[in-house]
Amino acid sequence: MATKCGNCGPGYSTPLEAMKGPREEIIYLPCIYRNTGTEAPDYLATVDVDPKSPQYCQVIEPKDIHAKCELAFLHTSHCLASGEVMISSLGDVKGNGKGGFVLLDGETFEVKGTWERPGGAAPSGYDFWYQPRHNVMISTEWAAPNVLRDGFNPADVEAGLYGSHLYVWDWQHHEIVQTLSLKDGLIPLEIRFLHNPDAAQGFVGCALSSTIQRFYKNEGGTWSVEKVIQVPPKKVKGWLLPEMPGLITDILLSLDDRFLYFSNWLHGDLRQYDISDPQRPRLTGQLFLGGSIVKGGPVQVLEDQELKSQPEPLVVKGKRVAGGPQMIQLSLDGNRLYVTTSLYSAWDKQFYPDLIREGSVMLQVDVDTVKGGLKLNPNFLVDFGKEPLGPALAHELRYPGGDCSSDIWI
């Protein structure tokens, strides 16, 4: 069954059974005020996404989640079959790179220690996913917090300070058994195994290289990786560099393992690929939701291998949307995608300063699961620029009972 903290949640027996679950009614989103100029604690927003509710598209319950612990630079959390919660770390308390994992009690959320063996952390960290039937966990790396915390500096890329590896762990023995170097794989962020618990393959999105890499298990038990999607950069004028990458910041897979979705935060498009053949993903849907290359903006595209013209700015319910598609979440049945537009406050300030002034938004996209395709819902907008304490930066999206990004079947 699906792993659930404290035995809560629906506990669907298989990913396909989860697709038959009820429609989502609320979504949780952490909202950030750090580095925005607003003196207020970060908080957890509950958004009503039930079309039959009078509070549809509204934040209905903000909760203070201001940090009360000394842990450093935590990112991804997954529940374990033991009932514990495991959280990845980007670094140590001084901001140096350290890809370790914190264990929490699933009932009290008290810190129990680290998951990895003493001294066995990866050089750097970010996301992770485990597949118990293959006794494996694979983790990714962004960069040391001291490198990324104040914004993006191209010199740090030249200096080799950004991640380009996957770390393969023995799930039972809690130790790294293989390190995979990624060709065209700078800044591997979000990683997803196929949801089928017997599957020995998955995908990782490499942000700066703008590639999707497929990782898979070999007959001898080792693991390999290959590039299966490349988003070409655009030659531009009026931007930080002469070429702009797509910057793939989030990916997810539908519960039936048929579709892969990812966001290009800088280019501004959301994409859908049919992965019925995982070695040869096929583009089936693309939708622009803002981004850095819209018409009338400061960036002029000089050469584009994909588009004939720059996309129009996105306006939803009278509001021009700042930023680009970033975090995404799919409904259990695969028919709706929810999207937020903030990446990380320091990078938001650098690439989309309007986000700091206006706050981020949450959008909803209708998905064609038969032929493929993406269509914006023009009647759905959650504007975090209107929060009582000032504009906020909404980030990750989660359902109360589990979702495509957090549930792992054992």
365 within a domain of the structure (yes/no): no
Q: How many domains does the chain have?
A: 1
341 within a domain of the structure (yes/no): no
Report the DSSP beta bridge partners of residue 89: 74
376 within a domain of the structure (yes/no): no
Q: What is the pLDDT along the chain (410 residues), one digit of tens a residue?
A: 344 444 455 578 999 999 999 999 999 998 888 777 777 888 889 999 999 999 999 998 765 543 333 336 889 989 998 999 999 999 998 999 999 999 999 888 888 999 999 999 999 999 999 999 999 999 999 999 999 999 999 999 999 999 999 999 999 999 999 999 999 999 999 999 999 999 999 999 999 999 999 999 999 999 999 999 999 999 999 999 999 999 999 999 999 999 999 999 999 999 999 999 999 999 999 999 999 999 999 999 999 999 999 999 999 999 999 999 999 999 999 999 999 999 999 999 999 999 999 999 999 999 999 999 999 999 999 999 999 889 999 999 999 888 989 888 98
The pLDDT assigned to 9 comes to 52
Token pair belonging to 7: 């035995």
CA torsion, points 190, 3, 397, 262, in degrees to nearest 10? 30
Question: Is residue 221 left, alpha or beta, with left meaning phi > 0 and alpha meaning psi from -120 to 50?
Answer: left
CATH of the domain at 196: 2.40.128.630
407 within a domain of the structure (yes/no): no
∠ CA(134), CA(139), CA(141), 5° rounding?
Answer: 165
Cβ pair 246, 231 in contact under 8 A: yes
* One-letter identity of residue 292: S
The pLDDT assigned to 361 comes to 97
Domain region containing 212: 25-308
The pLDDT assigned to 351 comes to 97
230 within a domain of the structure (yes/no): yes
Full-model pTM: 0.93
354 within a domain of the structure (yes/no): no
Please name the helix (run of DSSP H) or strand (run of DSSP E) that holds residue 212, with its range, or none.
Answer: strand 211-217
Contact residues for 408 (Cβ-Cβ < 8 A; gap 6+): 2, 3, 78, 79, 129, 130, 131, 132, 193, 197
Give the side-chain half-sphere CA count within 13 A for 356: 15
What's the Rg (C-alpha) of the chain?
20
